[in-house]
Amino acid sequence: MGRLIRLPLQRRTVPGHGTPRAVIVSASVGAGHDAVAKELEVRLLEAGLTVDRHDFLDLLPGNTGKIFVGTYHTMLERAPWTWKLLYGGMDNPGMMSGQARLFTWLSGRAMRRALKDDTAIVVSTYPLASQVLGRLRKTGKVSQHVHTYLTDFSVHRLWASPHVDSHMAVHTVPAEQAEGIDCQDVNVVSPLVDRRFHPVSKASRAAARQRWGLPHDAKIALLVGGSWGAGDLEHTVADVQAADPRFTCVVVCGRNEVLRQRLEAAGVTALGWVDDMPSLMHAADVLVQNAGGITVLEAVASGLPVVTYRSIPGHGLTNAAALDQSGVAPWARTHAELAPLLDRAIRSESAVPAPWGVDPVGLLLESAGLGHLTETVPGVVLPLAAAMEAMDAMDSMEMENAR
């Protein structure tokens, strides 16, 4: 697995003599892409860079971005099978090439304006932004090296632009998938997770349950469906309670106010948008999720066991398979499989794994010829030996999970 960690061979100099600039392009499609971008912004600022963060939807003309995300939201909410069909269709290289040309035509000029002359680092956390940056890189309209941070645990062809210089994956499973669709220079990195997500302790669990008004002696299953409260969460509540009556379900509905009201009317503890997810995760005994996004990595950082159930179509299903393959989160494909996985979750002491790869900030700084900045930021290092040790630790964890 060490072959997936590669140190960049080229070193770039920073244009001009001022503070080097990093540009991050994300998208407010759900919350995961933005969460990673925000944490990357925090860490690059700590390293002394100037950071610009752009929403790809804002780079599209007029109301195009709002229409685009609204259509996607409607597909997931009202006709999930349509998203499954579209997601599968975009696995075709020809269709993806057409999408890349279209979105480059729509946003190319705005994207180029976003990259100021003193930009040393360019990172995308959203697949269509990567496609546009890749095409601009191919034609020479973007001279900086372009990096993609793969926010999903599975890697769809949407992410694959052969003209993006390097890709960062949070585990060897997505890294190998990325290489399989011809992503360039794939590196396994440690997840970019808000530092507020830290390992749970008895004291923090007691404080968290008091904070949320939850019984101290109950078994709490935290159910999530992303920022939109997507998926069949009402049936998931019923299935969890039927599988193991010991569990009290707490559902995070995100911005899905209709769902929250329906659950509350049925006597279920239902929350809307939650700003203090670290505390809520400390209050729980298991996370039951259906999309496989950043929430899973936040749970792992918190030492909270994760079970995947009733996955949403498209990326939810492919993420479920990848998480299951890696041993990070088992996938209950049927109701019959749910009970034993929930029981295993509450019986096990979930350990926070060692870092799975190299530090992503260190990797970006090295690629831009700014490796000296790692000396001023605690914890930002990029020695190959440490990276190999991290991968050995991950191998051990996967072997333990396999038992």
pLDDT string in tens for the chain (403-residue length): 434 444 343 334 444 457 899 999 999 887 889 999 999 999 999 999 999 999 999 999 888 878 877 787 777 677 677 766 666 666 767 777 778 888 889 899 999 999 999 999 999 999 999 999 999 999 999 999 999 999 999 998 888 888 999 999 999 999 999 999 889 999 999 999 999 999 999 999 999 999 999 999 999 999 998 877 888 999 999 999 999 999 999 999 988 999 999 999 999 999 999 999 999 999 999 999 998 889 999 999 999 999 999 998 888 899 999 999 999 999 999 999 999 999 998 887 655 565 678 999 999 999 988 877 766 555 554 434 344 444 455 455 455 555 5
Provide the pLDDT for residue 395. Answer: 53
Provide the pLDDT for residue 30. Answer: 76
Q: How far apart are CA 128 and CA 117, in angstroms?
A: 23
Provide the pLDDT for residue 320. Answer: 94
Beta-carbon contacts of 354 under 8 Å, excluding residues fewer than 6 positions away, are 389, 390, 393, 394, 397
CATH 3.40.50.2000 occupies which residues in the chain?
202-347
| pLDDT digits 0-9 by tens, 13-24 | 444 457 899 999
Pick the CATH number of 202-347 from 3.40.50.2300, 3.40.50.2000, 3.30.360.10, 3.40.190.10: 3.40.50.2000
| pLDDT digits 0-9 by tens, 53-108 | 999 999 998 888 788 777 877 776 776 777 666 666 667 677 777 788 888 898 99
Provide the pLDDT for residue 9. Answer: 36
